[in-house]
Amino acid sequence: MSEIELGELLLSLSLIFVLTYILGSFLSKFRVPSILAALFVGMILSYTPFFSFIHATQSFETTMTFLSDLGVLFLLFYIGLQIELGEMKKSSTDIVWLTVLNTVFPFIFGVIAMLLYGYGWAIALVIGMTRMPTAEAVIVPILDEFKMIKTRVGTFIIGAGVLDDIIEVILVGIVSIWIGSKTGEVHGGILGLIAGIFSFMLISWIFYKWMPRVMKKWKPKNLSALMIFSLVILFGFGGFGEYVELGMVVGAITAGVVMRPLFENEEKKGELLTSTTQTLSYGFFGVIFFFWVGFNADMKGFIEEPILAVILFLAGTIGKLLGVFMMVPMKKISFKESIIIGTGLNARLTTEIIVAQLLFSAAIIDQKLFTALVAASAFSTIIVPLLFSLLIGFWGDEVYREK
């Protein structure tokens, strides 16, 4: 990257933060999280000629993508620091039920929609699976801004969202294996995915159980040492999560959970570092992450394939809401909680786009279905966080119940 390009990038970031600050101040008056201002700024600037150079210059796009990925890491690392694993274990059975119900119904509706549209069973099953996962990276920061991480709503969304990530891994793995069988390419297969998941779980358990004991003998001497050690754990788990195809989302949350006991033992240093992480996450990296999401949300697909895109969106939305609502007769959650949780779990980001791109590149799906999948994902990315924020704004006090 040349000096001129670097200057353009820095000036662009300055403008992004200025617009986010102004719009965020306005949105906060309506109890809409200021972090969403970056999402709307990204959407607006994506249609301006001034910002077209970002996609046109490879170095700019690569840099913004990397900063956005760091945003996911730091945001979810901070969330992981807030999670009390013992409290979440108390709801483990309910979380498993919620995960099953909020994935089965979207899958069924997605399959039916594809069959009615004339696609074969193979494509219908894969597209049905794209209705199942949740992008908790988009929703959980909003929960945190409303101070609802430790509530029943927050516990259910985070717990089900993390379990959904396993479904994402399996989904991408199945698609990769399917494409490989058609193209003759060799992949690690399902056994490789299972081995990766179990190895990640084993290492996470070892760190969670033994690191506090080791740290009693070696305590970070100052805040800088604790910060460096935290970054080692964060990047280590994030990288390992990516390596075994679980994703950096799971890695970042796990890193936060692993580091929480150490932060608690360090008391003042831990509190200060937690506060610093929060400021860095929401004040810098989080803004870039949400900006990049909005900037890449291409809504033109709705104009090209509006009916199919809406059907795909509704298959996931209605399926999620219906699945979560099934928990109400079971007396696990209230009706208003089910609406908020169902809406939050309907957030989507990258999985279905990745799957759509893989299938389209292999000529397994047509341009029409590819466009509709991307459009449905983009629409969900924009609408769900806003609707979720409004629901919490209306009903937050009524559903604010800690475990």
CATH number at 68 reads: 1.20.1530.20
0.75 surpassed by pTM: no
- pLDDT tens digits for 39-90? 788 888 887 876 666 766 777 888 888 998 898 788 878 877 877 666 566 6
- CB contact at 8 A, 298 and 375: yes
Q: How far is CA 164 from CA 45, 93, 249, in A?
A: 32, 15, 11
- Quick one: CA dihedral 117, 118, 121, 122, positive or negative? negative
- CB contact at 8 A, 33 and 4: no
Residue 151 phi, psi (nearest 5): -85, 175
Domain with 280 in it: 3-399
Write the DSSP assignment of 166-212 as a string of letters. Answer: HHHHHHHHHHHHHHHHHH-----HHHHHHHHHHHHHHHHHHHHHHHH
Total tally of structural domains belonging to the chain: 1
When pLDDT is cut at 50, 70 and 90, the band that residue 187 belongs to is: very low
Between 37 and 351, where is the model more confident? 37
- pLDDT tens digits for 321-379? 999 999 888 888 888 888 988 888 887 766 676 677 667 766 777 878 877 887 787 78
